Amino acid sequence: MPAAPVAARRPVRRSFHGREVEDDYEWLRDREDPEVLAHLAAENAHTEAMTAELAGLREEIYAEIRSRVQETDLSVPVRSGDWWYYARTVAGRAYGLSCRVPAEPGDWTPPRIPAEAAPGTVAGEQILLDLDELAEGHDFFALGAAAVSPDGNLLAYSVDRTGDERYDLRVKDLRTGAHLPDAVIEGIAPGATWVGSGHLFYQRVDAAWRPDSVWRHRIGTDPAEDVRVFHEPDESFWVGVGDTRSRRFLIIETASKVTSESHWIDAAEPTAAPRCIRPRETGVEYEVDHAVIGGEDRWLVTHNFTGPDFALGSCPVGAFADPGELTGHIAHEAGRRIEGVDCFAGHLVLSYRSGGIGRLALSGVDRVDFAELGFDEELYTAGPAGNPEWEAPVLRYGYSSFTTPAQVWQLDPATGERTLLKEQPVRGGYDRGDYVATRRWVTAADGARVPVSLVHRRDLDLGRPNPLLLYGYGSYEIPVDPGFSIARLSLLDRGMIFAVAHVRGGGEMGRTWWEAGRGTAKRNTFTDFIAVADDLIAAGVTAPDRMVAEGGSAGGMLMGAVANLAGDRFAGIEAVVPFVDPLTSMLKPELPLTVVEWDEWGDPYHDPEVYDYMAAYAPYENIREADYPPILAVTSLNDTRVLYVEPAKWVARLRERARGGPFLLKTEMSAGHGGVSGRYAKWRETAFEYAWLLRRAGAA
C-alpha cells in the first residue's frame, strides 16, 4: 500500500493579542504554487489507492442510483404570463433543458406533456436553454439566473463554468434565438431581476467577493453605461435584490447575520433612486413584501421588533420609523419562528416553524387570519413552490418526507381542495411502507432537549446494534428538514439507519436554538451531537464500531470538533468541504466571507476573548496525540466559501499528530462548494462516499 503523502513543514508564525502560533502547513494556501497542486494530486492518488477495494461497491451503488432514477423526465409546468415553463431531463444527458409552451387564457391546469417525447417535438414547445450545450467543453457548469422578461420575449441567464460562484450574464431574444448585442456582463453574483422588459437589475461583488452593490442595465446599451443604484460599504452586510410577486416594486435588502435594512423602487419608475423603508438598527431584522389588504397597498413586514422568533405586521407602502406604526397580524410567540409570508392578489401564505417542523398557514386578504395546513406524517417538509403569478387563483406547494418522494400539489384556497400534480418517480418497485421514520428526543448535558430524526427499513432488527450514519449541521439558523433521497435507499437497503442530530446552531427550534449554538455558545453544537451519539449507543440502537458521522461545510467543522472530542464513538467520520480551520480564516478579513461571518462565529481579529474561545475548539488547532477514527475529507479546489486549504492542512496535521486513521483527502480539481456538477458525476461522487461510509460501518 503506498505511503501517505507528507506535506512539508514550513512554519508560518502568527501573533494576535499576544498569542503566538506556529502553523507548519499554512503554505498550502497558495493554490498557484506548483508544489501545492502536486501535493493535492498526490493526495488524490493516495486516496484512490486506499479505497481501491471499494471500486466494486462504488459501481454497484452508482448502478443502483441510476436504476432508480427516471432519467428522462419532466417537471410540472409552472404558469408565468402567457406561457407554461418546465424543465426536461433526457437519459444520457448530464444537464437539463429549460422549455415552455403557450398557455390558454384563464387556464391554471398544467398541460400534460409526455416526458418521452423528444425535446422540440411537442406542439408549441420552445427550448429556452440547452444546458448540456452550454456546459460543453467545461469540467464544471452551473446555471445562475434564468429570468424571462414580463413580456415573455427576453431571457436573462448567467453561468458559472469554474465553481467559484462568479457568473457571466447574457440576454437571449426568445423570438429569434439570438443573443442581444449587449456585451456579456462578467463576474457578477448569480441573480438577475427584470423591472418591466427594458431594465435588468443585478449585483456586483467587491474584492472579498461580497455582493456589495446593485446595478441597473438598460437593454440595448453597453454594460459600460450601467448605473450603480445602491452600494453597501459595511463589509459585514450582503446586498440582495428582487421584485415583489405583484411586480409593482423592486426591493433591495442589505443584511448582516443579525441586522437588516430594506429599500424600494416603484417599478413604474425604474430609474428612480431607492427609498429606505426603515433605517437599520443593530440587532433588528425585518423583511417586506407587497400585499393588497382590504383594497389598500401595504407592506407585510416579518420582524423581530417584539421578540427573537419574529412576528408579522403591516403598514402602508412607504417608510415607517416606529414599530408601533405596524398593524399587528401575528404576535411574537416563543418557540414559533415566523419565517416569512408569500403574497398573492387573493391569498397569503405564511411559513413558520413549531416543534422542530416547518409549517404552512393560509389566509385571505380582506382579513388577515391564518389557518394551518395539516399533513398526515409526523416528520415532513412542505413549502410554496412554483408560484410566480400574482393573480393565480391556486397555490402550488411541494411536499416530501424521509419516506415520501418529492410531491407537487395544487391547492384551491377558495375550496380547500388539494390535487396531487406529480410525485417523484422511483423506479424498481419502491414501497414507502417498507421504511419508517421516527423522532427521538435526547437530553443534552445542560438539560436542552435535542430532536433526532431516524429513518430505516421497517423490517430492520432493532433488538441489536445496527450500522448507523449520524448526520449534523448546526449553523446559520439553517434547519435540516425531512426529505426524500433516492441515493439514500442504497444505505437503508443495506441495513443502515440514517439519523439527523438537529443540534443547536441550526434553525429547527427557532431563533433561540441558533443563538444557543453560535459565537461563544458554539461548543453546544458539538456537545449536542456527542450527546445524541452517546444516547444511540446507550439505547443499543448502534455501537461505536457500527456508527459513522457526516457533515459538510459548517457541519464539517462539527465533524472536526467531534473527532477531537469524541472520536472513539465512531467507526469513521466524513467531512465534506469542511470548515476545519475557522480561527485562521476569521483572522483574515481579506478573505471571502470573513467579515460577514463574524456575527456567526465571533470576531477573533479584534476580540481576544473570542480568539481564546475559538482557539479552544477549532478542529485544526486542537488535534491531539490520541487515537482517531478513519477520516475522509472531501473538498474542491475552486470553493470560495470554504477554501480547500482548510481540509488540506487538517489532514496533514492529523497525520503528523494523531494515531489511528487512515486520514484521507479527496480534492475535486474542477468544482466549487457544491462539489462536482452534472447528475452522473454527482451520482458517482455519492457512490464513492457511500461506499466508504458503508464499509466503515460494517454494512458493506
Catalytic residues: 553, 639, 673
Phi-psi region of 275 (alpha: psi -120 to 50; beta: other; left: phi over 0): beta
Cα gap 419→297, rounded to integer Å: 31
Quickly count: other Cβ atoms within 10 Å of residue 183's Cβ: 11
- Contact between 86 and 74 under an 8 Å Cβ cutoff? The reply is yes
Cα 675 vs. chain centroid, distance in angstroms? 13
Q: How many CB atoms lie within 10 A of CB 247?
A: 16
Q: Report CA torsion sign: 55, 61, 62, 63.
A: positive
d(CA 514, CA 509): 8
What are the grid coordinates assigned to 432, written together? 414507502
**10 Å Cβ neighbour count for 231?**
13
Question: Where are the extended beta strands (E) located within 389-496?
Answer: 395-400, 407-411, 418-423, 435-443, 449-457, 468-472
**Could you give the CA distance from residue 56 to residue 10 in angstroms, rounded to a whole number?**
39
Q: How far is CA 206 from CA 142, 210, 237, in A?
A: 21, 5, 12
Distances (CA, A) of 143 to 122, 170, 309, 683: 25, 12, 34, 19
Residue 86 in grid coordinates: 418546465
Give, in degrees to the nearest 5, the angle at Cα 70 between 66 and 73: 135
How far apart CA 194 and CA 154 sit, in angstroms, is 10
Q: Is there a cis peptide before residue 150, judged by omega within 30 degrees of 0?
A: no
| CA atoms of 618 and 649, how far apart (whole Å) | 13
DSSP character for 300?
A: E
- Match 438598460 to its residue by C-alpha cell: 218
Q: How far is CA 677 from the centre of its chain?
A: 15
Alpha carbon distance 231, 503 (integer Å): 36
Q: Where are the alpha helices (DSSP H) in 322-375?
A: none
On whether the CB atoms of residues 319 and 276 are closer than 8 A, the answer is: yes
Q: What is the C-alpha to C-alpha distance for residues 407 and 620, in angstroms, rounded to an integer?
A: 42
Which residues, listed in sequence order, are joined to residue 250 by a DSSP beta bridge? 243, 265
Least Cα distance to 556 among 475, 639, 455 occurs for 475
Phi, psi of 508 (to 5 degrees): -60, -35
